[in-house]
A and B are shown apart, each in its own frame.
Chain A
Amino acid sequence: MRKKVLLLSMMIVLALPVFAGYFDVGITIGTNAHLGERNLDPSRLKLAWGSAIGLTDVWELDVQANTQLVPTFVDTTSVSFLLQRALLGQRSSGGQTAGVGINTLIGVGAMISPYTIDGRTTLTHLLVSLTPITVGSPVTGKRERLLAVTLAYNLQTKQVGVLFDLLKFDFYVVGSYKDYR
Chain B
Amino acid sequence: MKRLLAFMVVGLVLIGSLSARSIGYGLGYYGQTVEAQPQLTSSGVEFSLVYKPWNLAFANPSVIARTSLGTDQGGVYRVPYLQIGFGVDLIRTTRHPFNFLAHNVIAYAPMVGVSYSFNPKRNMSLLALEASPFKLIQKDFWYEVLSPYFFIDMEKGEIDSWGFNIIRFTYFFK
Binding site for B on A (CB under 8 A): 29-31, 33, 38, 42, 44-45, 47, 69-72, 140-142, 166-167, 169, 171
Contact = CB atoms under 8 A, between A and B. Distances in A.
Nearest to B71: A44
B101 A69 contact: no
Interface of B: 29-33, 38, 41-43, 73, 100-101, 103, 145-146, 163-164, 166-167
Query: Dominant SS at the B interface?
Result: strand
A141 B99 CA distance: 12
23 contacts: A30-B167, A31-B167, A44-B31, A44-B33, A44-B41, A44-B42, A44-B43, A45-B30, A47-B166, A69-B31, A70-B31, A70-B33, A70-B41, A70-B164, A71-B33, A71-B38, A71-B41, A141-B100, A142-B101, A142-B103, A166-B167, A167-B167, A171-B100
B167 A45 contact: no
Contacts of B33: 44, 70-72
Nearest to A69: B164
Contacts of B31: 44-45, 69-71
B163 A42 contact: no
Given A47-B146, A71-B38, A166-B29, A33 B43 contact: yes
Contacts of A169: 101
Contact of B166 (A45, A72, A140, A142): A45
Nearest to B73: A42
Nearest to B72: A44
